[in-house]
Amino acid sequence: MEFKFGATLGHQLFNLKVYSLSGRPPSFSQCLKRRIADLADFSFYGIVGIIIITQSSKHQRAGDHWAKTYVVDIKDPMQMEHINNSQGEWVF
C-alpha cells in the first residue's frame, strides 16, 4: 500500500506521506526496507525507535535511515514546500 499510495492506512489517517530524500515517491525497495526495519523500530515497545528518531537530525526512524526516506505532514505547507523544491537534500 505504501508503494502504491506513498502512505500506509495509518499515515493516510494522519495526513502523512513517505518521500525519498530526493523528494520523489518511494520506490518498492525503499518501502520494503521500511517494513523490514519495523522489527527494530518497534522493539522494546518502540523505545528503540523513539531513541533513533530523537537522535536523528531529520527525525527519521531506523527504517527511514536505511531506505533513505522520510515522512512529512502533507497539510504542513512548510514541509510540502521543501518537497516541491527538493534537490536531493531535505532541510528542516
What digits encode the pLDDT tens for the residues 24-62? 899 999 999 999 998 888 888 889 889 989 998 888 999
Please give the share of the chain, as a percent, with pLDDT higher than 70: 89
Tell me the backbone φ, ψ of residue 86, rounded to 5 degrees.
Answer: -65, 135
Whole-number average pLDDT of the chain: 85
For residues 80 and 47, give the distance between their C-alpha atoms in angstroms, rounded to a whole number.
28
User: Does the pTM of the predicted model rise above 0.85?
Assistant: no
Please determine, for residue 77, whether its predicted confidence score (pLDDT) is greater than 50: yes
